[in-house]
Chains A and B, each alone.
Chain A
Amino acid sequence: MQNRPVIQLADIQKIYRTGEVDVHAVRGVTLDIFPGEFVAIMGSSGSGKSTLMNAIGCLDRPTSGLYRLDGIDVSALNRDELAKIRNDKIGFVFQGFNLLSRTTALENVEMPMLYNHRRVSAQEQHERSLKSLELVGLATRADHKPNQLSGGQQQRVAIARALVNQPALLLADEPTGNLDSQTSIEIMGVFQKLNDAGMSIVMVTHELDVARYTKRMIILKDGKIRTDEKVADRLNAENELKHLKQAQEAVKLA
């Protein structure tokens, strides 16, 4: 494939030391992900997907192993340096949306820019947030607070927030976990659009259906990679949505 990998993992291990028993959540993962890839990480519950994602997202440190993000050896960085990396290289979408309550969509999207190393003017913050919301098709809801938005809309706000600093990498831990199938397809549509525009995306999911919108599927088992293969019968969100709508129409007509 082309040039240098965005994510380069070599024998990553994560051991949770809680009281008497050590939990060996990730047991030696070696993996390269290149720019422009769209990867799904799958596996049963407790297989270590979230643990691995948190390590990739620089939210947590692996117990051992080497991790290069965009060529930088992340294992050697301190708390503040990790925060900086999270701020300008990574966009993270959480399973539970994790928006600030009682805060408008626009302000939620602006938040990462408040922590940019470079000062961003209020006007630029506003413009970039709006653009980001537009990208996920939610510009008209900028003034709405999370409790005035549907689950899918909240997830789009979370995606807009992840995109606002133009990260090299978009990470998503079960972005469709709480959503119905139509909304899930819509979100996958957003991801596919972003990926087509060149963004590298890594996404954790339970659902095989959802994983089929990606380009590469990795299955974890007991903290190890079990399979890692290209998605053969890839789905297109736009088409799927069309089919779904037609099916719904058919039900109504019948």
Chain B
Amino acid sequence: MRFLAPFKIAARALRRNKMRSLLTMLGIIIGVGSVIAAVSITTGATKQVEDKVASLGQNVVTVFSGSFSGMSGRGGWGSAPTLTVEDANAIKKEVNNAVAVSPEINDRMQVFANGLNWNTRVNGESPDYPQIRDWDLASGAMFTDGDVRSLAKVAVIGKTVVDQLFANQDPLGQTLIIRNIPFKIVGVLESKGFNLFGQDQDDIAIIPYTSHMKRINKRTFVNSIMVQAATKDSITQVQNDINGLMRDRHKSAEPDFTVRTQLEVMQMATQTSKIMSVLLAAIASVSLLVGGIGIMNIMLVSVTERTREIGIRMAVGARGRDILIQFLIEAVTLSVAGGAVGIALGMASAQIVAASTGWPTITPMLWIGIACISSAGIGIVSGFYPAWKASRLDPIEALRYE
């Protein structure tokens, strides 16, 4: 078969009308370009949010005191005095796949060291905490179950606290004063950066929850209980079991606790970008539709304008299908070339955005594929009618056309 001939003919025709070819492609270039740029930016943003959610820990299920569904005007998560250390122990003992548990007390106060002071979060946790948060120690070691039992005065601190109080020093073994009580620093956490809500996660000092409850803030309730499920697949089961267990233990009319999983947080956090994606897809289809109409329009003009050329080609032996293929290839070449330029331009502008704003951008291969296929599709669909019209021309009438 004369496979390459139609491409040669189409290429010659397009070259003869460079400016028009370029202008015709513009619709597709802008459509594909803006879609690729927007997808790159939202994908980058989504990835960033996902990373942040992942930095919450691994397979985390959190029990908060208080309930959002309650009508009694409670203050929300973590504020009602309903969760106890016994609840945490019961979860660890009775819930399948609950591999690590940490009762959690959140506080914020002034701490002192080296004659300096710093306002930071002081959390009471169990030794399981680094495992749940998937948070390694940069130096030293986490306090132990023995420390919890003995209400030990030991602390593990984050990078920000180190920077503020122990600049250019090794904090290990040094003393951190909390509420006039000296705590020995036994470990330093690796830097984790900011979390989803813009909070500096490294601005923290962690002490055994028992020490916190007995020595710092005398109280019997914890703010929340962090639980790690064994695997991603067991997260929901752990959540359900905790719900059942806690309902049994707290026999109140309406639940006085809330169990949230990392999956749910992920879903909530990525909701916005999901909506953005749908919106993008809508804009994409509209702009590509406009690009397609542009191509169809120009091809129709082109067929009318080149009626004589079509007549000449038919007179020297072109069949209807040769003409059809020629115009189809012209349309597809225009749209695919436009798509390719659009992809390049879209990626370039995403890079520019990334460089100037610092937002991470990612161009997914999937969308490059979608852009390629849909530009080819647009070419075929919008080129077909003009090409078909051209192929139906009568050679004599086409030749006589002025």
Q: Which residues of A contact B (CB under 8 A)?
A: 54, 57, 59-60, 79-80, 83-84, 86-88, 92, 94, 98-100, 102-103, 107, 111-112, 114-116, 119-120, 161, 165
Which chain B residue lies CB-closest to A104?
A: B12
Contact, CB under 8 Å: B316 / A87: yes
Contact, CB under 8 Å: B12 / A107: yes
B318 at the interface (CB under 8 A from A): yes
Query: B287-320 toward A: CB 8 Å interface, digit per residue (1/0)?
Result: 0000000000000000000001101111111111
Contact, CB under 8 Å: A80 / B320: yes
Add 19 more A-B contacts to A87-B317, A92-B315 (CB < 8 A).
A54-B396, A59-B395, A86-B315, A86-B317, A88-B317, A98-B315, A99-B312, A102-B16, A103-B12, A107-B12, A111-B312, A114-B2, A114-B5, A114-B9, A114-B318, A115-B2, A119-B2, A119-B3, A119-B5
Contacts of B16 in A (CB 8 A): 102-103
Name the distance in Å between B346's Cβ and chain A's nearest Cβ: 33
Q: List 19 A-B contacts (CB under 8 A).
A: A57-B315, A59-B395, A59-B396, A79-B319, A80-B320, A83-B317, A83-B318, A83-B322, A84-B317, A87-B316, A98-B312, A100-B312, A102-B16, A115-B2, A115-B5, A115-B319, A119-B3, A119-B5, A120-B2
Which 9 pairs of residues, A with B, have the shortest CB-CB distance?
A87-B317, A112-B316, A115-B317, A83-B319, A114-B5, A102-B16, A80-B319, A115-B318, A60-B396
Which chain B residue lies CB-closest to A57?
A: B315
Give Cα A116–Cα B311 distance, bound, in whole angstroms: 17
Give Cα A103–Cα B396 distance, bound, in whole angstroms: 22
Name the distance in Å between B389's Cβ and chain A's nearest Cβ: 15
Query: B80-96 toward A: CB 8 Å interface, digit per residue (1/0)?
Result: 00000000000000000
Name the distance in Å between B388's Cβ and chain A's nearest Cβ: 14
Contacts of A94 in B (CB 8 A): 315, 399
Which chain B residue lies CB-closest to A98?
A: B312
Contact, CB under 8 Å: A83 / B314: yes
**A98-B308, A100-B309, A103-B12 given; A115·B399 CB < 8 A:** no
Partner of A112, one of B309, B317, B395: B317
Give Cα A122–Cα B356 distance, bound, in whole angstroms: 50
Give Cα A98–Cα B319 distance, bound, in whole angstroms: 18
Name the distance in Å between A61's Cβ and chain B's nearest Cβ: 10
Contact, CB under 8 Å: A114 / B309: no
Contacts of B309 in A (CB 8 A): 100
Which chain A residue lies CB-closest to B391?
A: A79
Chain B, range 314-338, C-beta contacts under 8 Å to A: 314-322
B253 at the interface (CB under 8 A from A): no
Give Cα A54–Cα B322 distance, bound, in whole angstroms: 21
Give Cα A92–Cα B311 distance, bound, in whole angstroms: 12
Contacts of A119 in B (CB 8 A): 1-3, 5
Among A60, A103, A115, A120, the one with the most B-chain Cβ atoms within 10 Å of its Cβ is A115
Contacts of A100 in B (CB 8 A): 309, 312
Give Cα A120–Cα B1 distance, bound, in whole angstroms: 10
Contacts of A112 in B (CB 8 A): 316-317
Contact, CB under 8 Å: A161 / B316: yes
B8 at the interface (CB under 8 A from A): yes
Contacts of B316 in A (CB 8 A): 86-87, 92, 111-112, 115, 161
Which chain B residue lies CB-closest to A121?
A: B4
Which chain B residue lies CB-closest to A112?
A: B316
Name the distance in Å between B13's Cβ and chain A's nearest Cβ: 9
Contacts of B321 in A (CB 8 A): 80
Chain B, range 1-48, C-beta contacts under 8 Å to A: 1-3, 5, 8-9, 12, 16
Which chain B residue lies CB-closest to A164?
A: B316
Contacts of B9 in A (CB 8 A): 114
Contacts of B314 in A (CB 8 A): 83, 86
Contacts of B12 in A (CB 8 A): 103, 107
Contacts of A60 in B (CB 8 A): 395-396
Which chain A residue lies CB-closest to B16?
A: A102
Chain B, range 229-266, C-beta contacts under 8 Å to A: none
Contacts of A59 in B (CB 8 A): 315, 395-396, 399
Which chain B residue lies CB-closest to A89?
A: B317
Give Cα A212–Cα B294 distance, bound, in whole angstroms: 55
Which chain B residue lies CB-closest to A108?
A: B312
Name the distance in Å between A14's Cβ and chain B's nearest Cβ: 11
Give Cα A54–Cα B399 distance, bound, in whole angstroms: 11
Contacts of A79 in B (CB 8 A): 319-320
Which chain B residue lies CB-closest to A81?
A: B319
Name the distance in Å between B386's Cβ and chain A's nearest Cβ: 19
Give Cα A157–Cα B16 distance, bound, in whole angstroms: 19
Contacts of A80 in B (CB 8 A): 319-321
Give Cα A60–Cα B312 distance, bound, in whole angstroms: 14
Which chain A residue lies CB-closest to B392?
A: A79
Contacts of A83 in B (CB 8 A): 314, 317-320, 322
Contact, CB under 8 Å: A114 / B8: yes
